[in-house]
Amino acid sequence: MTDVKQPWWRGAVVYQIYPRSYLDTNGDGIGDLPGISEKLGYIARLGVDAIWISPFFRSPMRDFGYDVSDYCDVDPIFGTLADFDAMLTQAHRQGLKVIIDQVYAHTSDDHAWFAASRASRDNPHADWYVWRDPKPDGTPPNNWQSVFGGAAWTWDARRQQYYMHNFLSSQPQLNLHKREVQDALLAAAKFWLDRGVDGFRLDAINFGMFDPEFRDNPPWPAEGRAITRPFDLQHHIHNQSHPDIPGFLARVRSLVDQYGAVFTVAEVPGPDPLPEMRAFTEGDTHLSSAYSFDFLYAQRLTARRVKASQSNWAGPFGEGWPSWAFSNHDAPRCVSRWCPPGANRAAFAKLTNALLLCLRGNPILYQGEEIGLPQAEVAFEDLQDPEAIANWPRTLGRDGARTPMPWSKDNAFAGFSEHKPWLPVGQGHAELSAAEQEGDADSVLNFTRRFLSVRSSSGALRTGDASFADVPEPLLAIRRMAGDETVLCLFNLGTDDQALPSGLAEGFVCLIEAGAGADMPTALGPHAVWIGRKI
């Protein structure tokens, strides 16, 4: 249910699909667009409002779709444009909005734009990418480092220059300062808007522009921090986060507004994302929303962290509207990061899903979170992720969050495919499959469905204000308020029983609970959840 006073996307629950790993329908071991179409009924029954599909564009797949070689075509491993159109039509019939990725900071080095750019220094595409002469001693133009390790510069013999890349050397940096480049990217966005998409997720958009003076980044001492790559040893104040980025985002907003209430959400990585998130989303002339890595890389879930993150977005809508993710295709799954050893993992998964759905903003639920899927252990010989391979064994392990979605125990590949998948099925994942949980009323899947139903009927949970009751950790108490509705959300983040302050839940009636009992609680068991509405 959508609040008629707000655009559809405000407070919407978004379900992220990593298409390579969702469902394989043609037997090549890789998920595809027809596989998404086949599971749209399952997604609609969850009760989410929208799906976000990670890149399915034509690509050499060196970074599995985030290295785009054609923004306006579907890679054959995922299907065809006709498959996309069919999926989009079916999603809309199911009441689901469709959001797709847009990668504006870089392309693949297989893109026709880059082939033209590297051909000479004086062709029409020559400055569509970032080229610099070497220093007199032949070394790169400055000290900028790539996220995936090593210098952010690669020598190109054709132009006798270095080109910049914040990620893989096969992902050359677009010169987003150039108006013609912006125009070309907006034309690609228009291509998908004309087909009927409902929103865009902008990948790593704070990497989109850089310091035109190419000044060195200052060092960031390693003391007290986990270092896995040279990138971690710099403050990234010159190779990203340029103050002109919001101006480009205003152009994006101007385009999408021509198509109605289109949702635009920015991914904003980095150690201090809040100023950029506000600049990217403030007012009604920039993006709809943004999300950071507040929770995605956090090693512990604490009430203090939740309060700090949520309190940054307690103001009016015009201040900016956040989105939240606890897991995704780039971060280890939250159940594995946060669930204490020996704890009931299903109870903990219910807690994290409920907490995500109680935050003020847009929850982004990653495929498999609805069934409490843990991170998979992927052996070195099975790794596909270039970052994981390059930094083994000190790595975030993105492959472990990208293993196939388990649908059943029907075959050796958990119902994902009839053939060996591109990544192995996670250990124990088949036992947690959607089919196994369907018939269990107490499963993580069915609890998440019930919670989504409760949330859809509550204006307070969708778009209401948020505040915190004064309770001792590891308890967490969130109040959500809209109009005459007040909802109290109680969580025990700890492993022991916790007494609630006297009278905290007095006057509230239970909407949904997990491990707490339907009566007005006086205590919460380990990882228990209790949600009530004031009467």
- Residues 530 and 511 grouped into a single domain: yes
- Residues 385 and 494 grouped into a single domain: no
- Residues 49 and 181 grouped into a single domain: yes
- 34-47 pLDDT, tens digit per residue, is 999 999 999 999 99
The percentage of the chain sitting over the pLDDT mark of 90, rounded to a whole number, equals 92
Task: Report helix angle 179-195 to 81-93, nearest 10.
Answer: 60
Identify the band that residue 518 occupies on the pLDDT scale cut at 50, 70 and 90.
confident
Q: What pTM did the predictor assign?
A: 0.97
End position of a domain, from candidates 452, 486, 516: 452
Q: Is the pLDDT of residue 24 over 50?
A: yes
Q: What's the CATH code of the domain at 485?
A: 2.60.40.1180
- Residues 423 and 481 grouped into a single domain: no
Please tell me what DSSP assigns to residue 361: S
- Please check whether residue 492 lies inside any domain of the structure: yes
End position of a domain, from candidates 419, 452, 485: 452
477/202 Cα distance (integer angstroms): 32
Q: Is residue 418 exposed (0-12), middle (13-18) or buried (19+ Cβ within 10 Å)? A: middle
End position of a domain, from candidates 400, 434, 452: 452
83/74 Cα distance (integer angstroms): 9
Please tell me what DSSP assigns to residue 304: H
- Please check whether residue 146 lies inside any domain of the structure: no
- Residues 416 and 479 grouped into a single domain: no
- 386-440 pLDDT, tens digit per residue, is 988 888 887 767 999 999 999 999 899 999 999 999 999 999 999 999 999 999 9
- Residues 446 and 470 grouped into a single domain: no
- 116-174 pLDDT, tens digit per residue, is 999 999 999 999 999 999 999 999 999 999 998 899 999 999 999 999 999 999 999 99
Q: Among this protein's residues, is 267 annotated catalytic?
A: yes
Per-residue tokens: 352:
């994290």
Q: Is residue 215 exposed (0-12), middle (13-18) or buried (19+ Cβ within 10 Å)? A: middle
Q: Determine contact, residues 197/88, Cβ cutoff 8 Å.
A: yes
Identify the band that residue 115 occupies on the pLDDT scale cut at 50, 70 and 90.
very high
Query: Which residues contact residue 188 at a Cβ distance below 8 angstroms, ignoring those fewer than 6 apart?
Result: 71, 72, 102
- Residues 431 and 468 grouped into a single domain: no
Q: Among this protein's residues, is 67 annotated catalytic?
A: no
- Domain span at residue 64 reads 14-105+176-209+244-452
| Cβ neighbours of 272 (radius 10 Å) | 10
Q: Is the pLDDT of residue 504 over 70?
A: yes
Per-residue tokens: 51:
């799906």
Q: Is the pLDDT of residue 106 over 70?
A: yes
Residue 396: predicted pLDDT:
64
Out of 101, 267, 276, 294, the active site residue is 267
Out of 198, 203, 330, 370, the active site residue is 203
- 265-324 pLDDT, tens digit per residue, is 999 998 899 999 999 999 999 999 999 999 999 999 999 999 999 999 988 888 889 999
534/485 Cα distance (integer angstroms): 7
Helix (H) or strand (E) holding 350: helix 345-358
